[in-house]
Amino acid sequence: MLTFPVPLLGFAAYSGTGKTTLLTRLIPLLKARGLRCAAIKHSHHDFDIDVPGKDSHRMREAGAEQVVLASPHRTFWVGEGDGHTEPGLAELVDRLDLARLDLVLVEGFRDVAIPKIEVHRPSRNKPLISASDGNVIALACDAPPRVDVPIPVLPLNEPAAIAAFIVDWLDSRTA
């Protein structure tokens, strides 16, 4: 299992299961408990985060391999890829200011050996990722799973319960 100076917790599921929705509900709850979280999201698609016509976009379009835009409100970094090679999770974590974080939430990167919560909807008839991934520490479901699982089952539609599980998991790592 990969280890980092700050705990990483992945959220693994098949596309369209609700990973992002869950994370957007969990982050404020974790923040309210005093945790400073970062989020890393993997995408299989091309995307653009800066606005065409703005200076950062114009610099990137002109050929800059990396662009950093900074203000008192936020900073963003964008790096150009070759269209084929994906950055690894460790490379992305290295770009974070770990001194300002308590937890990194990772969406995607399903095959990376980090602790994960699997998001599962039995009605979608997809196999359980946890059946073949020993790094899954809990299963968040919107209905009881169709098979017995040897890990905690969390109520997907109760993010406060999942946040409590995460806090307990973090506390158990430092105990």
Angstrom distance (rounded) from CA 41 to CA 107? 5
- Which tokens in the block code for residue 39? 């989020």
Residue 24 has pLDDT above 80, yes or no: yes
Residue 34 has pLDDT above 50, yes or no: yes
**What is the SS3 assignment for 23?**
helix
Q: Residue 174 belongs to what H/E stretch?
A: helix 159-174
Hey, which CATH number is domain 8-42+87-174, 3.90.850.10, 3.40.50.300, 3.40.50.720, 3.40.50.850?
3.40.50.300
Residue, of 46 and 118, whose pLDDT is higher = 118
Cβ(143)–Cβ(123) below 8 Å: yes
Predicted model pTM:
0.87
pLDDT tens per residue, range 36-87: 999 988 765 444 566 688 777 777 777 777 777 777 877 777 777 777 888 8
Share of the chain above pLDDT 70, in %: 93
CATH 3.40.50.300 residue ranges for the chain: 8-42+87-174
